[in-house]
Amino acid sequence: MIAWFAKNDVAANILLFVIMISGLYVATTQIPVDLFPEFEQRNVQVSMVLPGASPQEVEEGITIKIEEAIQDLEGIRQITSQSREGSASVTVEVEEGYAVRDLLDEMKIRVDAVNNFPVEAESLLVQVPQWRRDAIGVVLYGDYDSLTLRRFADGIRDELAALSSISQVEVSNVLPYEISIEIQEWSLRQYDISLEQVAAVLRQNSTDVSAGNLKTEGGDIFIRSLGQAYKADDFGDIPIITTQDGTMIRLRDIANIRDEFEETPLRTRFNGVSAIEVEVFRTGDESIIEVTSAVRDYIDAKQVDMPQGLSLDYWRDRSEPIKARLQTLSTSAWQGLLLVIALLALFLRPSVAFWVCLGIPMSFMGAFLFMPLFDVTLNLMSLFAFILVLGIVVDDAIVTGENVYSHLQRGEDPLSAAIKGTQEVAVPVTFGILTTAAAFLPLAFQTGRGSWYAAIPFVIIPVLLFSLIESKFILPAHLKHVKARNDKNSSKLSMVQQKIANSLEVLIAKVYQPALAQAMRWRYATWMAMFAILIIIIGTIAAGHTKFVFFPRVQSEVATATLVMPAGTAFESTDRIISSMTQHAKDLQKEYTDADTGESVIRNIYSISGGRNSTTGRVQIDMIPPELRTVDVTTREVVNQWRERVGQVAGAEQLNYRAEIGGWGGAPINIELKGRDTESLNELAEKLKQQLGQYAAVSDIEDSLSDGKEELQLALKPEARLLGLDLNTVARQVRQAVFGFEVQRVQRGRDEVRVMVRYPLESRQSIETLEQMMIRVGPNREVPLWQIADVLPGLSPDSILRVDRQRTISVSADFDKQGGDLSLVQSEIREWLQQEVLTYPSTNFEMGGEARDQEESSQGLLVGGIGLAILIYILLAIPFKSYLQPIIVMSVIPFGLVGAVIGHWIMGMDLTLLSFMGMLALSGVVVNDSLVLVDYINQKRKEGVALKDAVYNAGGRRFRPVLLTSLTTFAGLMPLLFEESTQAQFLIPMAISLGFGILFATVITLFIVPLNYLILEDIQRYFKRYGADMKGLVSSKAK
């Protein structure tokens, strides 16, 4: 095949053009652009609503019943449940190896079989949570009331959804519409009716009824009554009572009807002004860049039609970091490509360098062909993969091209040189590519945070395989056109290049080979010296002089402050604190403004108070990317000043600040305390928070247990029993008056509107009005609540967390990873807890957060490393036809790992998860050079060359390809190593591991591999001699 393609350059070029054009077509039409890769959700969630119920009622009535129904299903790793006021959520984490959809179906069957949920329970949903890929937020803001803003926002939502490039839009952070029908107690008594009777009348009169078809001679005519009420006025027209004299009492005569939102308070502000957000999502194969571009064009066009005092703007355009990352990584790729070409042109012929580098775009286009098959999008990780492989992809072409170039230097015919040069190195090059591809394969099977990098092997492996195709079938057809150099007609530039190339030959002859000869002579002493260096560096690492940060803090362009006040805190109090935090952010916005440009580091401030929980709030500040700032300040410094200015918020249960990329894993410190005894859990949680507070690097310590919300408990008096009342009857009447009686739900356009009948708000704001509430005893008879029941004060938890069917308190905290060692703190806290739980027999604990992620990822890396070592050994043993020679090649791996650590020292960076992933990949890359050396020695020994001569000549003959493959790999990564943008920071450790590991291993390879080969031969010779001596001894004794 190699000879056929070399002779038939038309076929080679057609193959090249087909791959290039097909790959380009797929890249531009079939691959979506996104910020992060998609990954499979391995959770199943069950949710249910119990309106008006306390967390404890939700736990007993819904949560525990769901847990018990599903707890024995196979494939469940962990069950986590949250019982809140009015709702329950049970999340099941699925074990690896089990199909999520199969477990979903089994859970649906089990949950549907539960027949004793409370009557009022509704909205049961069993689903796999979908990862919403938000693209951009459209913010509508101005001094308008919430209802007006919502109606404008609904119109904008519909107009955006009508655009061809947008398919999913929704109005976010808003309350549902609700028609509230409020009737005074005295009005009910005046007309001798109850809320339940009013609701029944409304339900009977607000409906559309189909009456069938009228069969006429002209055809069928559909008959139906149109009585459905949709708005407040429609409901107000409904007759409730008709008196004996024919007077009709309509709903509007006895009730105040509000057509607005649910009563839950909510305030959203954009830069301090009332606002509402319309969020646009990317779905399917849509490009996030095209989606956001369409939205921004819409905003520009719509702005001129907005009424005075109402404005449109965008918020958190997710395509901006995408475009910045594309620009950053594309620039790094081009710079790396130019460095690779320059290196090859200096030490090989420029024409050879050109044909070698042609394999880079062809291999990249080939990878684009396969990306849709693996559901890989063009995102941060896939782009990073292209940069990682940039210098590696030409390794096979370099070895092939250099060998062909050597044949040309010996005066061979170009076609013969191309064929023979390619065939000679076909086996080591092929298995070198396979070992490199194998090195990245374990990344595809990582769990936890490691799963975010699964896209990397699905890019790199196809690139490497296509590079193999190019170096075997296309490159020889091009290299046959390279002619032998004619020094007489050489240009000055060509002569300079020749001198540089010759200087490498001088380096080999004058420096390297004499040094190699001495090392071979004193091979055991040299080997021991290298081994000592390895042990010293490993000892330095083990002694803790190298810091490990599982996932580093990389500053983001968005900072978020989250506030949680105690349950029962008035909304106005929460909103006042959020307003104060917003004002401090606005002060910082003014402070960090460039005097020359008038541009602030802080672009926008978005805040939310209340919502589903009136005691929570959030403030977000959107900042200019660090590399574009004209004011010298980091995101971390802005957040620290913001925290200092806000200070301690009196009574706040939680107040934390987050401003980093990759915060999806939760808090750095998260510890789950489990047990049956709530008091013991509370006591242990307080001790744990105090223990964490002793560490200077720990901040924002909080737990999942609130102080509780005040509640009123009804206890029937004996008089109630005498009147024939029971607790259920009384409680239901109180519920209908306070929470409300649901009449029906009306579909109004895209919104479902709930219609509620209840007492007015002022009748539900004090204990006094509650006690005066009239309870119906029978026809025409009522008694006040205080006569038949005591109203007793109590406390109800704000929410109840359960993990694996046990009540749980989660204690979490933030950590300054630059100022402390998180792994050390986690270890010390684990040891402290192991002692503390001895005094609380019914409790236990589990480390969550980064500790759990780190344990899972470490196990994955360990298993991947062992599997990789076995696979590399097999791939080396096959071409060598030896059980021992693979060990010679693999002996450089530890030195490569040490080089990776030294690289982190040089660059002043801590070891991270990505550093170890880089080391895993490095293990397969560094063996390539050793493979080429050992293969050459084997070839020469087959030709009858003496062992020492074969080893000595192999070092000199393969010095250039070994050096060039390492330098091109490092050169391809160099621009990324020194990149300062936010987009590159958490990727750099992997590039350091690969780049510096290969450089260090290359220097070692050129000495350790020849020495190991000789030492192995010494050992084999010794055992053969020892075996022969023993055989002779036995033979002589026998005689």
Amino acid at 620: Q
The 8 Å CB, 24+ separation contacts for 538-546 are: 538/898, 541/901, 546/901, 546/904, 546/905, 546/910, 546/911
Between 252-261, 285-294, 340-349, 447-456, the lowest mean confidence (pLDDT) is in 447-456
Amino acid at site 898: V
| Residue 961, Cβ density class (10 Å: 0-12 exposed, 13-18 middle, ≥19 buried) | buried
At 638, which amino acid appears?
V
Is 1035 a residue whose pLDDT tops 60?
Answer: no
Where are the domain boundaries for CATH 3.30.70.1430 in the chain? 43-127, 557-661
Q: What b/e readout covers 785-804, taking b as 16+ CB neighbours within 10 angstroms?
A: bbebbeeeeeebbbbbbbbb
- Longest Cα–Cα distance of the chain, Å, equals 141
As to burial, measured by CB atoms within 10 angstroms (0-12 exposed, 13-18 middle, 19+ buried), residue 986 is buried
Which residues contact residue 399 at a Cβ distance below 8 angstroms, ignoring those fewer than 6 apart? 425, 428, 429, 432, 932, 961, 965
Domain 134-176+265-317 falls under CATH 3.30.70.1320: yes
On average, the pLDDT of the chain sits at 84
CA distance 751 to 134: 21
- Residues 148-162 have a mean pLDDT of 91
Domain 557-661 is classified in which CATH homologous superfamily?
Multidrug efflux transporter AcrB pore domain (3.30.70.1430)
pLDDT of the residue at 227: 85
Three-point CA angle 763, 767, 773, nearest 5°: 55
Give CATH superfamily name and number for 43-127: Multidrug efflux transporter AcrB pore domain (3.30.70.1430)
Amino acid identity for residue 781 in this structure: R
- Residues 477-506 have a mean pLDDT of 72
Q: Say if residue 1027's pLDDT is above 70.
A: no
Query: Taking a C-beta distance cutoff of 8 angstroms, is the pair 271, 182 a contact?
Result: no
Mean pLDDT of 335-342: 76
pTM of the model: 0.76
SS3 626: helix
pLDDT tens column, 863-901: 888 888 899 899 989 888 888 888 888 888 888 888 888
Q: Cite the residue boundaries of each domain of the chain with CATH code 3.30.70.1320.
A: 134-176+265-317
Percent of the chain with pLDDT over 70: 94
Residue range(s) occupied by CATH 1.20.1640.10 in the chain? 2-30+322-467+484-489+504-545+882-1025
- d(CA 831, CA 1035) in angstroms, rounded, equals 65
**Token pair in block for residue 401:** 């091209």
Rounded to the nearest 5 degrees, what angle is found at the Cα of 488, between the Cα atoms of 487 and 492? Answer: 75
CA dihedral for 595, 601, 604, 610, sign (positive or negative): negative
- Residue 430 CA, chain-centre distance (Å), reads 35
Phi/psi for 639 (5° steps) reads -65, -40
Residue type for 253, please? D
The pLDDT assigned to 448 comes to: 61
Look up residue 676 and give its DSSP letter.
Answer: S
CA distance linking residue 25 with residue 23, whole number of Å: 5
**How far is C-alpha 316 from the geometric centre of its chain's CA atoms?**
17
Rounded mean pLDDT, 86-100? 89
Q: Domain 2-30+322-467+484-489+504-545+882-1025, what fold?
A: Multidrug efflux transporter AcrB transmembrane fold (1.20.1640)
Calpha distance 860→448 (Å, rounded)? 9
**Length of the chain as a residue count:** 1039
What pLDDT score was predicted for residue 680?
83
CA pair distance 125, 284, nearest whole angstrom: 24
Q: Note the pLDDT of residue 47.
A: 93
Q: How far apart are alpha carbons 942 and 950 in whole angstroms?
A: 10
For range 575-604, the mean pLDDT: 91
CA distance 339 to 684: 59
The structure tokens listed for 806 are: 């046990």
In this structure, what token pair is assigned to residue 693?
């507070």
- 123-139 burial, b if ≥16 CB within 10 A, otherwise e? ebebebeeeebbbbbbb
Contacts 24+ apart (CB under 8 A), 98-101: 98/74, 99/75, 100/40, 100/41, 100/42, 100/43, 100/44, 100/128, 101/128
pLDDT in tens, 657-697: 888 765 555 678 888 888 887 788 888 888 888 888 888 88
Q: Answer whether 640's CB lies under 8 Å from 822's CB.
A: no
User: Could you give the CA distance from residue 2 to residue 479 in angstroms, rounded to a whole number?
Assistant: 12
Burial environment of residue 253 by CB neighbours within 10 A (0 to 12, 13 to 18, 19 or more): middle
* Predicted local distance difference test score (pLDDT) of residue 556: 77
737's tokens: 């008056």
- Which tokens sit at 158? 């519909």
In this structure, are residues 56 and 84 in contact, taking their beta carbons and an 8 Å threshold? Answer: no
Cα separation, 91 vs 126, in Å, equals: 10
Provide φ and ψ at 517, rounded to 5°.
Answer: -60, -40
Q: Answer for the pair 347, 967: CB distance below 8 angstroms, yes or no.
A: no
